[in-house]
């Protein structure tokens, strides 16, 4: 039995110990157990909705959505604060867009999501310049003459000049596994940084790294939009606060699923008791780290273990939002609604002003995947080991962010007000392990993807994690849906591209 409790405004689910240690009765077994209620798990449940099967979704936390995590400041209703994914591209992410249309979910135009515009301010090495001035005279890096270019042009020219990308005659999708650099090294066996180290000056590498916003997205001509809601098909049951620890195959071919209950406040923690469930088929819609920790024999086959632990790497990320009584940053002489800097804030977004409460405004002060250890240290010192939550009283956090906000907006520190509210998140700990993953050198992505989708030929257990997606990057939700689609033929459904 689940009891609701409210602690510091957040809903806590406490699991009554009398319900645990249930013995798995065959009639109570699920036809399909889906582990993880992120966008992948919920999409899998929705795709299987017409199969007339008994389906349960088991979720570690007390909410649906996983790395899609929308909250609002209580005093500023109407502005979504996106702690995880916040945008998609209508054209490139067709599967996600069509699914959203079919579900009738509300979507919102999100111009900031398109990445830097020509007007975006870049504040590096104490200099403020517009994005379209990068590569020109004001660029504060000691670049060689052939490196003094806009970022997109420079990075493309490295590929064009130092690899055989233009002369390799295979399909665009396969190209990355065939092209070689000038030294003859295959590109898929090295990181992009390794290519830069060979052919660019150290300053040019700093230039690329420090001014990097989301420049790859600016080539898209479609609008980008924020995802507002994720729903689970109502017929299925969803069980929150269940952390899957082990899968054991039974003699009758079913699977016993061993969970530990979790207790959610701003940080979800474990309790030591176990809950047993059973299922005929299992869909693992969980993160890479969660799979690495899972006790299921098939994940210990040497090849699968290697893919799981070495083929992709978790990348942590952090975000910090403030609410204010007024949008003071719009007074800035160098204002732009998106600002990239080499301070630990890295990316700062004007998230808008409330329509319901005029003048109350939201600033995404920090968004980084490079300075995460620093922010984590700061949050930990102020608030213990919590990695997400509402932090309004952090004095050190307030001082540091004010100092950097003053630098990037060129506004005197004493005129910057204290925020009325704040919320932070660090995507690093179990079960996430990171905000997203990157492929490591040396792996043929489609091979890894195929094997990870069904790690064991003799088991009806499927992995639908976009960590191993060969066609889309794991920092896109669309990839999570594609990963689900790869498993659908095993359930008698046609795969949607």
Ligand X SMILES: Cc1cc2nc3c(=O)[nH]c(=O)nc-3n(C[C@H](O)[C@H](O)[C@H](O)COP(=O)(O)OP(=O)(O)OC[C@H]3O[C@@H](n4cnc5c(N)ncnc54)[C@H](O)[C@@H]3O)c2cc1C
Omega of the bond leading into 431 within 30 degrees of 0 (cis):
yes
Q: Which listed range, 44-52, 55-63, 128-136, 358-366, lies at the site for ligand X (CB under 6 A)?
A: 55-63
Task: Single out the residue of 215, 341, 453, 465 in contact with ligand X (rule: CB under 6 A).
Answer: 465
Tell me which residues in 432-451 interact with ligand X (CB under 6 A). 432, 435-436
Instruction: Compare residues 129 and 426 and give the one whose CB is closer to ligand X.
Output: 426
User: For residue 178, how far is the Cα from the chain centroid?
Assistant: 29
In the shown chain, the binding pattern of residues 213 to 242 toward ligand X, with x for contact by CB under 6 A and - for none, equals -----------------------------x
Instruction: Compare residues 179 and 282 and give the one whose CB is closer to ligand X.
Output: 282
* Encoded tokens for 156: 């493309």
36 binds ligand X (CB under 6 A): yes
Q: Which listed range, 58-66, 190-198, 300-308, 399-407, lies at the site for ligand X (CB under 6 A)?
A: 58-66
Minimum distance between the CB of residue 420 and ligand X, rounded to whole angstroms?
A: 23
476 binds ligand X (CB under 6 A): yes
336 binds ligand X (CB under 6 A): no
37 binds ligand X (CB under 6 A): yes
Asked whether the beta carbons of 34 and 487 are under 8 A apart, the reply is no
Task: Single out the residue of 85, 116, 261, 433 in contact with ligand X (rule: CB under 6 A).
Answer: 85
* Encoded tokens for 347: 């990316």
Instruction: Compare residues 205 and 212 and give the one whose CB is closer to ligand X.
Output: 212
Query: What is the DSSP code (8-state) at residue 274?
Result: -
Alpha-carbon torsion angle 407, 408, 411, 415, nearest 10: -80
> Exposed e or buried b for every residue in 253-283, given b needs 16+ CB within 10 A?
ebbebebbbbbbbbebeebeeebebbbbbbb
- Tell which residue, 149, 138, 297, has the closest CA to residue 215: 149
Q: How many CB atoms lie within 10 A of CB 363?
A: 22
Minimum distance between the CB of residue 112 and ligand X, rounded to whole angstroms?
A: 11
Minimum distance between the CB of residue 16 and ligand X, rounded to whole angstroms?
A: 19
Asked whether the beta carbons of 135 and 149 are under 8 A apart, the reply is yes
115 binds ligand X (CB under 6 A): no
Minimum distance between the CB of residue 88 and ligand X, rounded to whole angstroms?
A: 5
468 binds ligand X (CB under 6 A): no
Minimum distance between the CB of residue 480 and ligand X, rounded to whole angstroms?
A: 4
Task: Single out the residue of 56, 61, 336, 482 in contact with ligand X (rule: CB under 6 A).
Answer: 61
Asked whether the beta carbons of 41 and 32 are under 8 A apart, the reply is no
Query: What is the DSSP code (8-state) at residue 349?
Result: E
372 binds ligand X (CB under 6 A): no
* Sequence-ordered list of residues with C-beta below 8 angstroms from that of 392, at least 6 positions apart, any chain: 419, 420, 421, 422
Q: From CA 171, how far away is CA 471, in angstroms rounded?
A: 13
Tell me which residues in 249-288 interact with ligand X (CB under 6 A). 285-287
* Sequence-ordered list of residues with C-beta below 8 angstroms from that of 47, at least 6 positions apart, any chain: 484, 485, 488, 493
Q: From CA 144, how far away is CA 150, in angstroms rounded?
A: 13
Task: Single out the residue of 76, 81, 100, 317 in contact with ligand X (rule: CB under 6 A).
Answer: 317
Total residues contacting ligand X by CB under 6 A comes to 40
Task: Single out the residue of 475, 491, 493, 496 in contact with ligand X (rule: CB under 6 A).
Answer: 475
Q: Which listed range, 6-14, 56-64, 129-137, 195-203, lies at the site for ligand X (CB under 6 A)?
A: 56-64
- Tell which residue, 274, 248, 284, 226, has the closest CA to residue 69: 226
Length of the chain: 497
Instruction: Compare residues 200 and 481 and give the one whose CB is closer to ligand X.
Output: 481
Instruction: Compare residues 36 and 135 and give the one whose CB is closer to ligand X.
Output: 36
94-103 vs 39-47: helix axis angle to the nearest 10?
A: 60
41 binds ligand X (CB under 6 A): yes
56 binds ligand X (CB under 6 A): no
Instruction: Compare residues 59 and 350 and give the one whose CB is closer to ligand X.
Output: 59
- Interface residues with ligand X (CB under 6 A)? 35-41, 58-61, 66-68, 84-88, 242-244, 285-287, 290, 317, 319, 427, 431-432, 435-436, 465-466, 474-477, 480
């Amino acid at each position: 039995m689940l009891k609701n409790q409210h602690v510091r405004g957040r809903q806590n689910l406490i699991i009554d110990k009398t319900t645990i240690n249930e013995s798995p009765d065959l009639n109570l077994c699920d036809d399909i157990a889906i582990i993880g209620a992120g966008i992948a798990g919920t999409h899998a449940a929705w795709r299987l909705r017409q199969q007339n099967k008994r389906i349960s979704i088991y979720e570690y936390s007390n909410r649906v959505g996983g790395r899609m995590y929308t909250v609002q400041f209580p005093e500023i209703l109407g502005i979504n604060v996106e702690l995880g994914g916040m945008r998609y591209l209508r054209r490139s992410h067709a599967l996600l867009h069509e699914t959203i249309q079919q579900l009738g979910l509300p979507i919102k135009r999100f111009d900031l999501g398109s990445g830097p515009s020509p007007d975006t301010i870049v504040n590096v090495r104490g200099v403020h310049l517009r994005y379209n001035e990068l590569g020109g005279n004001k660029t504060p890096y000691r670049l060689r003459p052939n490196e003094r270019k806009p970022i997109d042009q420079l990075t493309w020219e490295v590929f064009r000049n130092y690899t055989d990308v233009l002369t390799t005659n295979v399909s665009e999708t396969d190209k990355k596994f065939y092209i070689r650099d000038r030294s003859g090294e295959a590109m898929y066996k090295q990181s992009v940084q390794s290519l830069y180290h060979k052919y660019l000056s150290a300053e040019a590498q700093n230039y690329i790294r420090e001014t990097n916003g989301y420049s790859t997205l600016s080539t898209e001509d479609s609008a980008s939009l924020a995802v507002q809601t994720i729903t689970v098909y109502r017929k299925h049951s969803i069980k929150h606060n269940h952390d899957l620890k082990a899968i054991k195959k039974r003699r009758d071919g079913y699977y016993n699923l061993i969970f530990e209950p979790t207790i959610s406040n701003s940080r979800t923690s474990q309790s030591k008791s176990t809950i047993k469930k059973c299922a005929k088929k299992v869909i693992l819609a969980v993160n890479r780290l969660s799979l690495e920790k899972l006790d299921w024999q098939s994940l210990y086959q040497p090849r699968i273990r290697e893919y799981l632990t070495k083929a992709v790497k978790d990348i942590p990320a952090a975000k910090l939002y403030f609410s204010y009584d007024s949008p003071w940053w719009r007074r800035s002489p160098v204002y732009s609604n998106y600002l990239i800097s080499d301070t630990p804030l890295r990316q700062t977004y004007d998230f808008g002003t409330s329509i319901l409460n005029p003048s109350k405004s939201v600033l995404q002060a920090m968004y980084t995947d490079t300075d995460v250890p620093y922010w984590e240290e700061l949050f930990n010192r102020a608030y213990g080991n919590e990695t997400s939550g509402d932090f309004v009283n952090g004095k050190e956090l307030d001082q540091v962010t004010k100092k950097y906000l003053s630098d990037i907006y060129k506004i005197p520190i004493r005129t910057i007000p204290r925020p009325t509210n704040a919320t932070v998140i660090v995507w690093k700990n179990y079960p996430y392990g990171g905000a997203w993953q990157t492929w490591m050198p040396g792996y043929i992505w489609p091979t890894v993807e195929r094997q990870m989708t069904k790690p064991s030929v003799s088991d009806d257990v499927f992995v639908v994690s976009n960590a191993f997606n060969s066609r889309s990057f794991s920092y896109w939700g669309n990839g999570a849906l594609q990963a689900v689609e790869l498993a659908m033929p095993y359930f008698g459904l046609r795969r949607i591209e």
